[in-house]
Amino acid sequence: MNEPFWETKTLREMSEEEWESLCDRCGRCCLHKIADIDSGEILFTNVVCDLFDLGEGRCTRYRIRQRLVPDCMDLKKEFPPLDWLPATCAYRLLAEGKHLPPWHPLISKQSDSVMEAGVSVRSFAIPEKQVEDIRNHVVETLR
């Protein structure tokens, strides 16, 4: 039996299609983060980029997102480090030599497994256009 590509290739060796399939569409990387100036700690918020479709669980303008949102990260260009990503992120997990979780769609073979596992931001995120002060939206549980 052939081993899955994510177990035999490094992130840098993956094709564009393989790389993109690692995204579980949780939306956590689309949440706004705040860097604590004193400690350097990355604080997650429950505020999601306005380009993120909370119903579908994906970016509505993915291919041109960097033009529309200049501080939106292109993981492939920013790789590494990936320590600012949530601990559940497939890119971060694989970069750290860990395995994909059982709820990841590549493992579960079900696209809704991320939502069922409670990992998706779709159940709690607020679009940025509805937020006045992002500092009031830090979420402790996403670190």
Total domains in the chain come to: 1
Give residue-wise pLDDT tens across range 16-47.
899 889 989 888 888 888 887 888 787 889 99
Q: Which pTM does this prediction carry?
A: 0.81
Q: Is residue 62 part of a domain?
A: yes
Q: Is residue 7 part of a domain?
A: no
Structure confidence at residue 119 (pLDDT)? 86
Type and span of the H or E element at 115: helix 113-116
Average pLDDT over residues 97-115: 92
Q: Is residue 6 part of a domain?
A: no
Higher pLDDT, residue 77 or 118: 118
The residue among 83, 82, 92 whose CA lies nearest residue 6 is: 92
Q: Is residue 21 part of a domain?
A: yes
Structure confidence at residue 85 (pLDDT)? 78
**Boundaries of domain holding 77:** 12-142
Dihedral in degrees, nearest 10, Cα atoms 23, 29, 30, 36: 180
DSSP 32-69: EEEE-TTT--EEEEEEE-TTEETTTTEETTGGGHHHHS
